[in-house]
């Protein structure tokens, strides 16, 4: 009797066995990587496979350099500043980030530590995933670089989320010997592993999945040589501390050896904490574990001074204007004051939309530029949402920068005495 049911050929391959072995996992991984490569190639085609930072208007030059717009215009006209690029249709100028930094150098408005002051190190840490830790690390590093700091962003997470944001696929584009593992295995300085990004002033040390073996390697080395495994990274940073103003560590969402190395090497800590009850309770456990770890840092024979962080800032993340989120934010403020950043890193679709364009929001414009209309780096979404989100991010990063700048000034003052 004829049947109306579709036959197996019409449905495609029938899944007759749902069991999963190593070969199936490998097949899925290869398939996902191949799709990702095709997607990334398509996204980057307009720039011929390269990343670039957008150009900036005269108003933005004045804002970033902290030099009055009238002064910038006058000195450009007199040939004292880089002239930028002129749009012949309307006379508007646009400037690269490198040109803005040249202007800051000419006027001495670039924030620097000074030749005798080592870099400030800040670590983003939370042992729970989904806290926006990598997002916070990336946006902080880019913001600081735009505003004239020499920044090194070190990805200590084998997942390589931060590495991926800048256009490198960890398992395809990053060699194992170019990761922080070369610090541990060969004693290389962190600065020797740095590669330039497309953002002037921002270098990074990339990650790859092979770094997951750090746990075993560092433990073995500690037993063999008698050292403390959490000190391995800080022992390989002397050149990096001389070459950069700020070093940002993005750590794994765990209390692994890599995370502890980043925490131990840090002057300051940033703890992203989503405004939810689950994360609030998890954070209490996190701080209890952190207390025990920091005490362990200070009880080793080689450490004569108690480990002390210059500051810690809890950054409320994934915040939205709901009664539940508002209540949790008040609880976090009440519990962890005075260590909580006053501005909140809010939930924002614009950040996710920018990520789909393989960008961070700082790289995009809300619409066509009068200065450079053919530039093409436009946000693929609502312009109003873009501007609102960018303003929020700018406020959060500015508050963190103020904390860092205060610390750098204290170092500079102490170094001059």
Within 10 A of 90 (CB to CB), how many other CB atoms are there? 9
What pLDDT is stored for residue 408 in this prediction? 79
Three-state SS string over the chain comes to CCCCCCCHHHHCCCCCCCCCCHHHHHHHHHHHHHHHHHHHHHHHHHHCCCCCCCCECHHHHHHHHCCCHHHHHHHHHCCCCCCCEECCCCCCEEECHHHHHHHHHHHCCCCCCCCCCCCEEEEECCCCCCCCHHHHHHHHHHHHHHCCCCEEEEECCCCCHHHHHCCCCHHHHCCHHHCCHHHHHHCCCHHHHCEECCCCCEEEECCCHHHHHHHHHHHHHHHHHCCCHHHCCHHHCHHHHHHCCEEEEECCCCCCHHHHHHHHCCCEEEEEEECCHHHHHHHHHHHHHHHHHHHHHHCCCCCCCCCCCCEEEEEEEEECCCHHHHHHHHHHHHHHCCCECCCCEECCHHHHHHHHCCCCHHHCECCCCCCCCCCCCECCCCHHHHHHHHHHHHHHHHHHHHHHHHHHHHHHHHHHC
For the CA atoms of the chain, what is the radius of gyration?
24
What pLDDT is stored for residue 293 in this prediction? 84
What pLDDT is stored for residue 51 in this prediction? 75
Buried b / exposed e over 243-268, threshold 16 CB at 10 Å, is bbbbbbbbbbbbbbbbbbbbbbbbbb
Burial of 121 (0-12, 13-18, 19+ CB in 10 A): buried
Strands 195-196 and 202-205: antiparallel
| Residue pLDDT tens, the chain, 417 long | 344 444 434 444 545 566 777 787 788 778 777 776 665 565 544 333 467 888 999 999 999 999 999 999 999 999 999 999 998 888 889 999 999 999 999 999 988 756 667 889 999 999 888 889 999 999 999 999 999 999 999 999 999 999 989 988 888 889 999 999 999 999 999 999 999 999 999 999 999 999 988 888 888 887 887 777 888 899 999 999 999 999 999 999 888 889 999 999 999 999 999 999 999 888 888 888 888 888 877 766 555 567 788 999 999 999 988 998 899 999 999 999 889 999 999 988 899 888 877 789 999 887 766 656 555 577 888 888 999 999 999 999 999 999 998 887 877 777 665
What pLDDT is stored for residue 372 in this prediction? 61
For residue 118, report the phi and psi dihedrals to the nearest 5 degrees. -75, 165
The pTM assigned to this predicted structure is 0.85
Q: Per DSSP, what are the bridge partners of residue 317? A: 274, 345
The arrangement of strands across the sheet holding 202-205 comes to 195-196, 202-205, 151-155, 246-250, 120-124, 268-274, 311-319, 345-346
Instruction: State the virtual CA torsion across 357, 362, 366, 371 in degrees, nearest 10.
Output: -110
Residues sharing a CB contact under 8 Å with residue 151, sequence separation 6 or more, in sequence order: 141, 144, 145, 201, 202, 203, 244, 245, 246, 247, 248
What pLDDT is stored for residue 272 in this prediction? 94
């Amino acid at each position: 009797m004829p049947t109306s049911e579709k036959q197996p050929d019409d449905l495609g391959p029938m899944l007759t066995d749902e069991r999963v072995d190593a070969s199936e996992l490998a097949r899925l991984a290869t398939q996902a990587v191949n799709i990702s490569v095709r997607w990334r190639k398509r996204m980057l085609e307009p720039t011929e496979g390269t990343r670039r930072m957008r150009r900036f208007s005269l108003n933005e030059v004045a804002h970033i350099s902290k030099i009055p717009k009238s002064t910038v215009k006058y000195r450009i006209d007199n040939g004292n500043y880089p002239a930028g690029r002129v749009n012949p249709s309307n006379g508007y100028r646009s400037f690269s980030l490198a040109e803005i930094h040249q202007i800051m150098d000419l006027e001495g408005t670039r924030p620097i530590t000074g030749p005798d002051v080592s870099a400030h190190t800040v670590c983003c840490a939370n042992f729970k995933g989904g806290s926006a830790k990598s997002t916070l690390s990336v946006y902080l590093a880019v913001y600081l670089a735009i505003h004239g700091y020499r920044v090194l962003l070190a990805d200590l997470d084998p997942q390589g989320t931060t590495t991926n944001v800048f256009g490198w696929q960890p398992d395809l584009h990053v060699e194992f010997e170019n990761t922080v593992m070369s610090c541990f295995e060969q004693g290389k300085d962190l600065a020797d592993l740095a590669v330039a990004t497309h953002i002037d002033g921002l270098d990074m040390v990339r990650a790859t999945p092979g770094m997951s073996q750090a746990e075993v390697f560092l433990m073995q080395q500690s037993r063999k040589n008698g050292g403390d495994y959490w000190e391995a990274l800080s022992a390989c940073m002397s050149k990096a501390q001389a070459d950069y103003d700020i070093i940002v560590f993005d750590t794994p969402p765990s209390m692994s050896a890599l995370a502890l190395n980043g925490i131990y090497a840090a002057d300051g800590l940033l703890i992203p904490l989503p405004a939810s009850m689950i994360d609030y309770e998890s954070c209490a456990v996190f701080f209890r574990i952190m207390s025990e770890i920091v005490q362990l840092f200070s009880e080793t024979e080689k450490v004569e001074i108690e480990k002390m962080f210059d500051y810690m800032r809890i950054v409320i993340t994934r915040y939205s204007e709901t009664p539940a989120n508002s209540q949790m934010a008040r609880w976090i403020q009440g519990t962890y004051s005075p260590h909580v950043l006053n501005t909140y890193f809010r939930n924002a679709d614009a950040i996710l939309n920018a990520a789909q364009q393989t960008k961070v929001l700082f790289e995009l414009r809300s619409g066509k530029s009068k200065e450079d209309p053919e530039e093409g780096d436009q946000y693929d979404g609502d312009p109003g949402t873009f501007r609102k989100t960018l303003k929020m991010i700018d406020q959060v990063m500015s508050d963190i920068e103020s904390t860092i700048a205060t610390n750098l000034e204290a170092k500079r003052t102490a170094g001059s005495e």
